[in-house]
Amino acid sequence: MHNDVSSADAKPAKRPGRRTPVRAIARALAITLAVGVVALANVRDSSGSPAITVAATPVLGMPASDGMQHLEYDLIVASRVPAPFRLRSVEVLDVDHRSLLRLDGDKLVAATQPLDGLTPSSTIPASGSVAVVVDLLVAQDKIPARLIHRIAYNGTGAPTTHPSTRSINLPELAVDLRSALLISPPLRGPGWLSANSCCDAATTHRSGRVIGNKGVPPAKPETFAIDWIQLHGDQPFTGDGARPQQWYGYGSDIHAAIGGTVIEVRDGLPDSAPNALPAGIDRADTAGNHVIVQIRPDTWALYAHLQPGSLAVAVGDKVATGQILGKLGNSGNSLAPHLHFGLLDSPHPDAANSLPFVLDHYIVAETVDRDSYLAAFSGTGPLKLRPHSHPSPQSSTFPLILAVTDFS
């Protein structure tokens, strides 16, 4: 089921009658790929045998719309021998050995996936690797500077050959304590669903990895990227939604979330018909028509899938916060009209790590029910909104996945 949420290349389920809008929402794309260098932590098991190794991507996070600090990273667990293993538990502790998170059973399976996909499985293939997606929630005034990990696993063969569960302890992992960058919403008006936002392991953004050199953890170019789709009520489009113009968000102005210098612009790619990923998209065209703005010496903002002919800036332009960059479209590898927005630590989206951010002001008006989101996505049920009893004004937080946000 998790695999259905956002697998960018899965075929939409067929059913008679009206199309279910969230099918498109939930699978709104992934721009993929990159190579990066991150922290590597080799470990040995309790007997000194290097049966598995564990590496980690950088621990990055931000205060989110649920009032908690989210810390995001992947543990890359590899079998170093030609035998498979099964993960039994992953525990995250602070340096005083207080448990902060324990993943086991179904939760561990849901958080564990192959490096190049998102099918849940806690089995580490022989001489292969899996990623354990960690979404660690802590109080905003109690962010640990370092983390400890205890990982239990055993073999998958007969009990006589793998009689016991073994455990390993990962060396301390540093938390990146830099504050997430404060920006303004790049869209205006009500009803913007944060589809494919952080931090559900089952989304294409959270599971997107670019595998680099052996032994180096993959880069994570989309962990904190958001696909924004506009809803009217619980619907993202009018009529049958077969044309981009029927989608409510289509043609909306896209504003610079923060000032900077335009370093890349792409225009001229056509909008695709919604509800199916376009065939034959070149890797270089994945982001469709897009703008990249350098906003810090080490940070770039990507605005992707813009409407052809709508781009209002050119390379070298200095843009101010709020300035219009172009209009929301459905170009590139896009299943439905939306804005893909994210911050990157490189000007190359296919060679970057995603960086967290917070929005200065917005309101979480409603939340889309996750089960209904999955059901609608698989064509078996309607989308359901879960209105907040009191709309939740937010300041300097990150809008989590399934939040429906109003921007001013």
Of the candidate spans 25-33, 118-126, 239-247, 387-395, the one that interacts with Zn ion by CB under 5 A turns out to be 25-33
- Considering only residues 222 to 241 of the shown chain, the ones binding Zn ion according to CB under 5 A are 227
Residue 36: other Cβ atoms inside 10 A:
20
Assess contact for 11 and 24: CB atoms under 8 A. Answer: no
Closest to Zn ion by CB, 153 or 192: 192
Taking alpha carbons only, the member of 380, 385, 396 closest to residue 13 is 380
Please, what is the minimum distance in Å from the beta carbon of residue 287 to Zn ion?
9
Is 74 a binding residue for Zn ion by CB under 5 A? The answer is no
CB of 138 vs Zn ion, minimal distance in Å:
27
User: In the complex, what is the shortest distance from the CB of residue 207 to Zn ion, in angstroms, rounded to a whole number?
Assistant: 12
**Least spacing, CB of residue 196 vs Zn ion, in Å:** 5
Phi, psi of 370 (to 5 degrees): -65, -40
- Cβ-based nearer residue to Zn ion, 290 or 327: 290
Residue corresponding to tokens 């931000």: 62
Query: CA quadruple 211, 36, 85, 72: dihedral positive or negative?
Result: negative
Give the residues across from 290 on adjacent strands: 266
Taking the complex as a whole, how short is the minimal distance between the CB of residue 389 and Zn ion, in angstroms?
30
Q: How many residues bind Zn ion (CB under 5 A)?
A: 3
Minimum CB separation of residue 206 from Zn ion in Å reads: 11
Nearer to Zn ion, 69 or 353 (CB): 353
Part of the chain binding Zn ion (CB under 5 A), chosen from 22-30, 102-110, 113-121, 170-178: 22-30
Does residue 340 bind Zn ion (CB under 5 A)?
A: yes
Residue 324 Cβ, how far from Zn ion at the closest point, in Å? Answer: 21
Q: Give the burial class of 162: count Cβ atoms within 10 A of its Cβ; 0-12 exposed, 13-18 middle, 19 or more buried.
A: middle
- List binders of Zn ion among 262-321 (CB under 5 A): none
Q: Would you say 227 or 345 has its CB closer to Zn ion? A: 227
Structural tokens at position 332: 């590139």
- The interface region with Zn ion, picked from 21-29, 64-72, 151-159, 393-401 by CB under 5 A, is 21-29
Alpha helices in 274-387 (DSSP H): 370-377
State how far the Cα of 388 lies from the Cα of 404, in Å rounded to an integer.
10
Instruction: Report 133-172 residues binding Zn ion (CB under 5 A).
Output: none
CA distance 394 to 264: 32
Q: Report the site for Zn ion in 381-400 (rule: CB under 5 A).
A: none
What are the start-end ranges of the H helices in 332-385?
A: 370-377
Instruction: Say how far apart CA 46 and CA 163 lie, in whole Å.
Output: 15
Query: Contact, 339 vs 317, CB < 8 A?
Result: no
Q: How far is the CB of 201 from Zn ion (least distance, A)?
A: 16
CB of 12 to Zn ion, least distance (A): 17
CA 5 to chain centre: 12
**Integer distance in angstroms from the first to the last C-alpha of the chain?**
35
| Residue 362 near residue 186 (C-beta atoms within 8 A) | no
Instruction: State the nearest-atom distance from the C-beta of 353 to Zn ion, in Å.
Output: 15
Of 26-34, 67-75, 133-141, 376-384, which segment contacts Zn ion by CB under 5 A? 26-34
Q: 113: Cβ–Cβ under 8 A, 6 or more apart, which residues?
A: 119, 120, 121, 130, 131, 133, 201, 207
CA distance 283 to 270: 15
Judged by CB under 5 A, does residue 220 bind Zn ion? no
Residue 274 Cβ vs Zn ion, minimum distance, rounded to whole Å: 15
Question: Which CB sits closer to Zn ion, 129 or 334?
Answer: 334
Nearer to Zn ion, 29 or 62 (CB): 29
Answer for the pair 352, 57: CB distance below 8 angstroms, yes or no: no
Looking at 219-227, 329-337, 350-358, 372-380, which segment touches Zn ion (CB under 5 A)? 219-227
Judged by beta carbon, residue 29 or residue 328, the one nearer Zn ion is 29
Q: Is 387 exposed, middle or buried (0-12, 13-18, 19+ CB in 10 A)?
A: exposed
Q: Which is nearer to Zn ion, 149 or 340 (CB)?
A: 340
Of 26 and 29, the one with the shorter C-beta distance to Zn ion is: 29
For 29, the 3-state DSSP assignment is coil
**CB-wise, 4 or 227, nearer to Zn ion?**
227
d(CA 6, CA 247): 19
Return the number of the residue (32 or 310) whose C-beta is nearest Zn ion.
Answer: 32
Instruction: Using CB under 5 A, list all residues that contact Zn ion.
Output: 29, 227, 340
